[in-house]
Amino acid sequence: MPLPSNPADQPPASPGAGATVDQWLTYLEAIHPTEIDLGLDRVLVVLRRLFRRKPSARIITVAGTNGKGSAVATVEALLRAAGRRTGAYTSPHLQRYNERVRLNGEDISDDALVSAFEAVEEARGKVSLTYFEFGTLAAFVAFADAGLDDWVLEVGLGGRLDAVNVLDADFAILTSVDIDHVAFLGDNREVIGFEKAGVLRPGIPSVYADSDPPRSVLQQVTAQKVELALLGRDYELVTEQQKGDDAPAVELRHKGQAIRLPAGPLPIKSVAAAVVAIRELEPNLPVPVIEQVLSGLSVPGRFERVGSAPDIFLDVGHNPHAAGWLSGQLSQLKSPGRRVHGVYGALADKDVAGVGRAMVDVVDAWYLAGLKVPRGLSGQDLQARLADSGIQATAFESVREALVSALAVADPNDLVVVFGSFFTVAEGREILLAGKVAGS
């Protein structure tokens, strides 16, 4: 897409030597006319300037509507347990951009990130890149500079036309296909499935983390002769209540072996798919090592427990499918007399009513937080949308006000969950971890 023709909208000057990460990010936000501009043409041009050939590292690409971050974290941790040097690229971030680019399990340093930004800026010339495209290429540069063995890449939006897909995957994980980002991906699972399956490549191994893939996914699998492992056909999840356990045990049964999976806090299907992937990528990794790694695995913002008396959880479930999973997790923790207080904030293009329907049976009191970000809904807008679903809720100007109100009402035995948009969870997390809840 060409730059705006209006002379008043000329692109900003590139940050000079010594620029900070924040200065670079401000620049990245301003150099392309739109925030989202799906397509691989621009990225391919710059990629070929940066890399004369495909990187020698193994490329593991993770696509799906929900559960991608959990799958990436699982694959990353298990690869490292196998002695591999890993890079992981995820989005969006919660507190710092550096969270998006991990080198051997650690967030990238400011110096390494700025160096990667500089390399992309020099290579792109006059090619206009979106914020996400620029950052994706910078992650590739950082991984190459670090000489890593495996690159674990989370698709940002869709799959087929996402910047991550500019690199051919050596292994692909599809976590789920459900309705989200309708304006870009379509309004039904078949169309969305076609977009997600765009990360597949001829003959590569892959795994689908559910038992009901859309026909469009299976058609791509057949057409490209992809080696697909499918839940319910090629591996199973079996739930058994073990004596003395608070939560039922879940066993992954795959290739004649049983692997015990933790009850939480990550989506069990995403974790299982990641384990199946690892057993293909690193077949000699012992089962006891896999189980040990999984027992301590967590992801910030994914059913993350950050407080007690009352218990406080954070979750980035922002569509009905993700909210349904969150509702199930909370239901396991509810008991007579224990109320759930939900602090919820969302963007305007999300299915707020669908999220409400998924959560209505588990949330006893709703505190709706306005988001002062692009596309953010006010508390009053959220209140109106949820009222159509019969949900009575109180609207607040900000996440802070909603959270303070919820904590003021909640009994020590209750549950408080901050959920919805990444912006909601990021703000709530910052407030809670900094101990800045008291007062408004």
Both tokens assigned to 246: 């608070």
Q: What is the predicted pLDDT for the residue at 6?
A: 40
pLDDT at position 9: 60
pLDDT of the residue at 45 = 97
What pLDDT band is residue 1 in, cutting at 50, 70 and 90? very low
Q: Are residues 339 and 404 in the same domain?
A: yes
Helix intervals (H) in 125-256: 131-146, 182-185, 189-196, 215-223
Q: Which helix (H) or strand (E) holds 79?
A: helix 68-81
Look at residues 271, 295, 319 and tell me which one is the last residue of a structural domain: 295
The C-alpha atoms of residue 314 and residue 399 are separated, in whole angstroms, by: 12
Q: State mean pLDDT over 406-416.
A: 97
Q: Which is more confident, 9 or 221? A: 221
Are 136 and 106 in contact, with CB atoms under 8 Å apart? Answer: no
- Three-class DSSP category at 398: coil
Determine contact, residues 341/414, Cβ cutoff 8 Å.
yes
Residue 114 has pLDDT above 90, yes or no: yes
* All residues at 6 or more sequence positions from 423 whose CB lies less than 8 Å from its CB, including other chains: 345, 347, 371, 373, 376
Same domain, 154 and 264: yes
Q: Considering the domain boundaries, does residue 1 fall inside one?
A: no
Residue 76 per-residue DSSP state:
H
Same domain, 224 and 350: no
pLDDT of residue 289 exceeding 90: yes
Say which CATH number the domain at 36 has.
3.40.1190.10
- Going by C-beta distance under 8 Å and a sequence separation of 6 or more, which residues neighbour residue 176? 64, 65, 66, 67, 209, 210, 269, 270, 321
Look over the chain and give the mean of its residue pLDDT values, rounded to a whole number. Answer: 93
Phi-psi region of 307 (alpha: psi -120 to 50; beta: other; left: phi over 0): beta
Does residue 2 form part of some domain? no
- CA dist list (Å): 178 to 62, 124, 175, 193, 421: 15, 35, 10, 8, 17
Q: What is the pTM of this model?
A: 0.93
Same domain for 328 and 386:
yes
The helix/strand count (H/E) of the chain reads as: 15, 17
Does residue 93 sit in helix, strand or coil?
Answer: coil
Instruction: List Cβ neighbours of 16 (8 Å cut-off, separation of 6 or more).
Output: none
CATH code of the domain covering residue 332: 3.90.190.20
- The mean pLDDT value for 135-149 works out to 98
pLDDT band at 118 (very low <50, low <70, confident <90, very high): very high
Asked if pLDDT for residue 77 goes beyond 60, the answer is yes
| Model confidence at 229: pLDDT above 90 | yes
Rounded to the nearest 5 degrees, what angle is found at the Cα of 186, between the Cα atoms of 182 and 190? 130
Mean pLDDT, rounded, for 116-134:
97
Regarding whether 286 and 352 lie in a shared domain, the answer is no
For the chain, how big is the Rg over CA atoms in Å?
22
Under 8 Å CB-to-CB from 434, ≥6 apart: which residues?
none
pLDDT above 50 for 440? no
Per residue in 2-37, pLDDT tens?
344 344 467 788 998 889 999 999 999 999 988 888
> Could you list the residue range(s) of the whole structural domain that residue 233 is in?
7-295
Structural domain ending residue among the three candidates 268, 295, 322: 295
